[in-house]
Amino acid sequence: MLNILIIFISAFLGILCTIFIYNKSNYQQESLINKYLIVITTIASLRLLFHGIQIAYPNLRIIKLTNFWDVCIAAIIPCFYLYFENIINEVKFNRGNLKHFIMPFLLIGIYFFGLLFTPNNYYGVIRMILSIILFLGYIIYSTKGFVLLKRNIWFRKSEIKSVELQNKLIKNWSIFLYIAFILILLIRIIESVITKKFGQFDNNYLWMPGLIWISIYVKIILTPEILYGYNFLNKSIDAAAEKVVLNSIWFTDDNEVPITSEKDKKLQEKVKPMLKLYIHQIEEFSFYSEAFRNTDLSVEDISIAIKIPVSHINFIFKYHCRETYTDFKKIVRIHDATKLIESGFLKTNTIESLSIQCGFSSYNTFNMAFKSITGYTTQEYAKRY
């Protein structure tokens, strides 16, 4: 009874998670990485749902339907790899990616051929062939995935605190998801050894991968930041213009540094009621004007432009911002640079002129900041567009 309950919980939680990801993806301009995640959660949850129905109501005779979803799970394997790949690159869909789905379509084709044209006494052989191909796919993609993650995600660093926090978040998420992927494979192998039914799924053991899927769904729902990928700063800025969007940078509920100065304590009383409005005004000025293209832009200039006392702005950067004002300027200017690249600025201009246009006084400083914040060199980012 408990195993059926776990299977149904996993299935329904997976459906809710799919809806959650879909809504978040629309909000974030339908990020491609989340489309792969939607495929993964949809197939996994529907497979468990139909298996749960089969166990609970054996008279319904939906064995062919459950077999179909057992075969469709092959599509999850390349989706895991492509999901990891697109966390890193976040490129538009490439037709070359379709080659990764040759194996799933081949398995589905073999399944229907066996179902329609193979005598029942040979159907077990067909399932054996399907399972062998499936295992080979697991091994190939788990190896490719490990190399990809180790090389591009697990040791990624940034000097910007909020970016480094996102790096750690995605590192931990990718490790968690990769281990879950391997555990599902190991459970399948152990199940085959115990039951001696290689090529068949035993519903008595389905609750174990069900638990793993539950942990994945809960992780996604409780940590939606992972759905933004690495380029979370630009996505956050582009997603909304009427509220505080860079929550990873600002502390709106508490202070980053304890306030000991009596002068600052009195200032806190004035700033706190207006804090979120102030931060929104700073963000709006920073990302929806071109003021930061001025190399010499100071806090005083911002104060005059948005009509907030300079002491209040300094207080916010000191006690409610994870970044220094210098690093905040870098974030704003690099965001500006990415938008210019995406609009084709480098088709007629040099990278050096881009750095000057965005307010950097040094070409080298621009290159280091761009790499630190986006994870790419300027040339690598430009190739994506």
What type of residue sits at position 139?
A: I
Give me the residue label for tokens 């790096």: 167
Classify 307 as helix, strand or coil: coil
- The encoded tokens of residue 379 equal 């040339």
Domain that holds residue 291: 236-383
Same domain, 32 and 137: yes
Taking the whole predicted model, whether its pTM rises above 0.85 is answered as no
Same domain, 327 and 358: yes
Task: Provide the residue count of the chain.
Answer: 385
Using an 8 Å Cβ cutoff, are 102 and 75 in contact?
Answer: no
Q: How many CB atoms lie within 10 A of CB 63?
A: 11
Residue 326: closest CA among 166, 161, 183: 161
Same domain, 225 and 249: no
Burial class, 113, CB count within 10 angstroms (exposed 0-12 / middle 13-18 / buried 19+): exposed
- The encoded tokens of residue 186 equal 């190991």
Residue 16: closest CA among 180, 208, 227, 217: 217
CATH number at residue 20: 1.20.1070
Same domain, 53 and 202: yes
Q: What are phi and psi for residue 321, nearest 5 degrees?
A: -130, 130
Same domain, 330 and 202: no
User: Residues with Cβ < 8 Å from 275, sequence gap 6 or more?
Assistant: 252, 316, 320
Q: Is the dihedral of CA 306, 307, 313, 314 positive or negative?
A: positive
Q: What pLDDT is recorded for position 30?
A: 46
Same domain, 220 and 242: no
Q: What pLDDT is recorded for position 214?
A: 95
Using alpha carbons only, what angle is made at residue 189 by residues 187 and 191, rounded to the nearest 5 degrees? 65
Q: What pLDDT is recorded for position 196?
A: 61
User: Final residue of a domain: which of 229, 255, 272?
Assistant: 229
Virtual CA dihedral for 172, 329, 315, 159, nearest 10 degrees? 30
Same domain, 190 and 281: no
Same domain, 267 and 223: no
Q: What pLDDT is recorded for position 384?
A: 76
Same domain, 247 and 332: yes
Same domain, 127 and 72: yes
User: Final residue of a domain: which of 229, 254, 275?
Assistant: 229
Same domain, 150 and 46: yes
Q: How many CB atoms lie within 10 A of CB 51?
A: 23
CATH number at residue 362: 1.10.10.60
Q: How many CB atoms lie within 10 A of CB 72?
A: 19
User: Final residue of a domain: which of 194, 212, 229?
Assistant: 229
Same domain, 240 and 218: no
Q: What pLDDT is recorded for position 27?
A: 47
Q: What pLDDT is recorded for position 220?
A: 92
Distance CA 383, CA 385 (A): 5
Q: What pLDDT is recorded for position 115?
A: 59
* pLDDT digits 0-9 by tens, 91-130: 666 777 788 888 777 777 776 666 555 565 555 666 677 7
Distance CA 93, CA 163 (A): 25
Distance CA 339, CA 335 (A): 6
Number of domains in the chain: 2
Distance CA 226, CA 165 (A): 11
Q: What pLDDT is recorded for position 204?
A: 74
Ranges of the chain whose pLDDT falls below 70: 25-33, 90-93, 111-127, 195-203, 231-246, 255-256, 385
Residue 209: closest CA among 188, 189, 228: 188
Give the number of C-alpha atoms closer than 13 A to the C-alpha of residue 167, restricted to the C-beta side: 17
Using an 8 Å Cβ cutoff, are 84 and 153 in contact?
Answer: yes
In sequence order, the β-bridge partners of residue 54 are none
Q: What pLDDT is recorded for position 313?
A: 93
